[in-house]
Structures are given as structure tokens and as C-alpha cells.
Amino acid sequence: MISWMQRKRKYLIITIWVSTIAFIGAGFVGWGSYEYGSKATAVAKVGNSEVKMKDLQKTYSALYSQYSQYFQGKFDQKMAKQLGLEQQAMKQVVQQEMLINFAHDMDLAITDDEVLNSIYTSAAFFKNGKFDKDTYVTALKGARLSTVEYEESLRKEMLIKKLFKLMSPEVLDLEKQTLRSAFFIADKIEYKILNAADVKVSINEDDLKKFYEAHKNEYMTQKLYEVELLWHDMQKGEYSDDELKSFYNEESFNYRAEDGSTLSFEDAKDDVINAYRAKKSKKSALLEYIDFKKGKLGRSGEHQTLSQINMQLSSEIMNELDGLNNGDILKPRISGNRFVTVKLLNIILPRVMTFQEANSEVSVKYMMQAKKEALQKEAQNELNSFKGKISEFITREESGAIDGLDSTEASDFLNKLFTQQTRRGMVELDQKIILYYILEQKLLETDQEDETEKLIEQSAQRLKQSLFDNGLFKLLEVRYPVEVY
């Protein structure tokens, strides 16, 4: 699934400008928050304005929440790293700042009345069918967000929407006709599949070391934290429904369904019990923390050396450790189904791995590159004289028509094939190269009233918008230079 998403991620990445749902839904839990350099509040400079660390963390949290929903909760830090979630978040906040700069240069603005109207009409802040100030304040409090911060972010979001609304390109009939021809053209091809798995290469130790020296800065040890952990078990006990309902009524804004509506007591009961148990247990955990801090506790903590991604502590707690000095102690935090008090003993900064430490990673990457280069050389040698299989007339939609490729590979191949400008050529996939020669082409007849016509119009709009956006951001990158700290 991950490899498929990596291939398809340009279609999957959802542009998330900070919004009500993202803010309140994600709750700013700081999943995987990270640093790009110093502990300063800014992570980059775009033109004359700065990108704040808090905005980067919020965008990362919103992205993480989106992917977590897509994977139905089966999403973790390892998967986030594979999909380059940090880079996606950084790209989004930088692009957002570019758009805001551009909007200001275009003399666009969002008035206070527009901001207020957006808040007053947001269903997330409704009670009994209309805006409720207490619900608004409570919701932001639950998201650990001040009204000033929220309204500032909302203003930015509305400004970007206004900018895009003014610059939305119109699709012309000629453009739809051109795309229709591309959709309904069929090719008969001769093709041959070359597979990297069939390429034989050997690893030379000297070449491997040269490869390591050229790329060694890519192989870094993880940032490590030497800590002492003091665990506190949750208080056990049975609670009456009256106790739990009273607690639920005070904290109901924390229990929301996927659509943003408040869960009923019965639907949220398990979570309510856990939260109430935590509240009851917090006092004893704080007492132990005080004794631990004074050195009067009759037991010692558990010594661990942890990376940012670990099974012991949440990423939120790990992020807090970055702001501490050696010897500082965090007050009890919930981790899993227990409280934990954390004492920071030492932070071990990342360093370049030695050749021996990086050997296995280097070998894999070197082998992949060597096979890719050998495969490309073989493809070039065979391109003008290969003999392969002959297909029937195929369109870009017939992913099952290419013998030797699975449906995903065939879909990638056909999408690339129908954008080629040459009759004879090659298409590169992850681990394969397909040589092709177009024998014949023909246009298929279509019913312009069918669903495909709607798809063509939508595709034309998306394609033109995508081209427009790409051109816009290339212009903005020149106009507003980016400096990452």
C-alpha cells in the first residue's frame, strides 16, 4: 500500500490550508513535530515574511490526521516518514506564505466582517441550530488555540480562497475537444518489458565506499534522548453513570464524530471512562512527581535511550523534551494507559554514520542505482531493434491488456504512453522499463451525452487548474525567494 501511495502521491496529496475542521479535528497534537535547525520560532523565510514553527506543526498534524483517516487509523510515524509527510507539510506552509504575499501585493484583503461572518456561519460552533459563543470558545480551548490565533489563521485561509477564486481558469471548447481526442485514441503497440530483477550486478567494496563517501550525509544516526521514566498506573475503580455523565457534560466538546458532531454519552462512554480515570489518577501522579523532583521518592525510574519515534512515549512528549535542559523534569503526562514523569538526562545529537554502521543501507541503495543504470543501458541497446509482444488496440483505461504488468504498473505505463511524443521509445517504472513501438492508431466513436463527457469536462478543468497552479508557483518561487533555516 505504501509503495502504491508513493507512486500515486501527487494525486493523493490534499492541499490543506489551515481550516476549522483541520484545526479542531487534529487538535494540534503535534504528531511527528520536528525541527529544521534551531529552536527559534521560525523555520523558513518567504520573501520578507517568516514561516512559523507552530504553523508547520499544525499543518503536519492536519496532514497526519488526513492520512490516518484514509488508512482507518492504521497509520504511524514510520508510514509518515515513508510518504515524506514532513516535506509535504513544509512545502504546504511555504506555498501558503507565497500565496499570502502575492495576495497582499494584489491589494486583496479580508475584512473583519468577513471573518466574523465565516465564524458565525460555521456549523462547528452551532448550538441548537445557531452560533453559540460558549461553544466557539470551548471548541478553541479544546484545540489549545486562542481566538486571536484561530482568527488570524482563518483570515489567511479566506484570503487564499479569494485569490484562487479570482484566478480560476475557464475551460474552452477547443481544450475539451483536444482532451476528448486524447481520451478516445487507441494504440496497437509492440512492447517488451525489461525487469531490474533480471539484471545481474556485483558489489565492489571499493565502489561501495566511493558511493558512501559521495552520499554519506544522507546516512545520519537518529537524535537520541537519555531519559529516566517514572510510570504511574491509572487508578482502578467502578464509577456510576451519574459521575460519568457529570464529567461528560463538562468535557463534551472533546468527544466528536468524524463529521464534527458531538458524540452522545453512550457512544463516547468508553473514552469518558478512560478520561475520568485519568483525572482521578492525576493527583497521586503529581504527588509522586514532587517527591521524585525532591529526591525523596522511595523508588527510582526506568532508564531508557529513546529516538523521536519510539513505543514508550508519544511524539508530543518527545517534542517537549527538545525544550528542556539536562536534568529538567516534565510533570506527569498520559502515555498509553498510564501516567509518566520524564526526566531528561541527555540529548545525543545526530551524526554521520560510519561506513560500517551505514553498510546495509548503502549496499541496498548502491545496488538499486547500479541495477537502474544497467537496465537503462540495456534498454538503450535494444530500443531500435527489439522484438516483443503485439497488443490489441488499447486505450489508457485498459490496464489489464498489458501482459507482464500488474494493474498498477499497467495503468502507470499507459498513462505515460499516451503522453509520449515519439512513435518508438521507452517508459520507465519503478523497477522496470517498457520498450514500445506504436504500430497503428485510431480514434474511437463516442456518445457525447454519456458520463464520459462529464468526466472529460472535469478532467479538463483539473488539468488546466493544475497547469495554472504549477505555473503560478514557479512564478512565486522567483518572486519570493525561500530560505529554510
Helices (H), 143-230: 147-166, 173-183, 205-215
Per-residue pLDDT reduced to its tens digit, 356-392:
999 999 999 999 899 999 999 999 999 999 999 999 8
Average confidence score pLDDT of the chain: 83
**Contact indicator for 19, 157 with CB cutoff of 8 Å:** yes
Query: What does the block give as the cell for 300?
Result: 527510582
Give 346 or 248, the one with higher predicted confidence: 346
The residues spanned by each domain of the chain are 2-167, 185-217+354-443, 224-348
Element (H, E) at 272: helix 265-294
Give me the DSSP letters along 13-68. -------HHHHHHHTT--TT---SSSSSSEEEEETTEEEEHHHHHHHHHHHHHHHH
Q: Which residues lie below 8 Å from residue 416, measured CB to CB, with a gap of 6+?
A: 427
Query: Hey, what CATH class is 2-167 in?
Result: mainly alpha
Predicted confidence (pLDDT) per residue in 104-142, tens digit: 999 999 999 999 999 999 988 998 889 999 899 888 887
Whole-number pLDDT of residue 111: 93
DSSP code string of 304-325: EEEESS-SSS-HHHHHHHTTPP
C-alpha to C-alpha distance for 227 and 327, rounded to whole angstroms? 9
pTM above 0.85, yes or no: no
Q: What is the pLDDT of residues 173-207, one digit of tens each?
A: 777 777 766 667 889 999 999 998 888 888 888 99
User: For the ranges 26-35, 356-365, 401-410, which has the lowest average pLDDT?
Assistant: 26-35
Lowest mean pLDDT among 46-55, 147-156, 446-455: 446-455
Residue 228's pLDDT band (cuts 50, 70, 90): very high
**CB 66 within 8 Å of CB 14:** yes
Q: Quote the pLDDT of residue 55.
A: 85
Q: Give the pLDDT confidence score for residue 221 in this predicted structure.
A: 92
pLDDT digit string, tens, across residues 258-284: 766 777 888 888 888 888 888 888 888
The size of the chain, in residues, is 485
Q: Which amino acid is at 336?
A: G
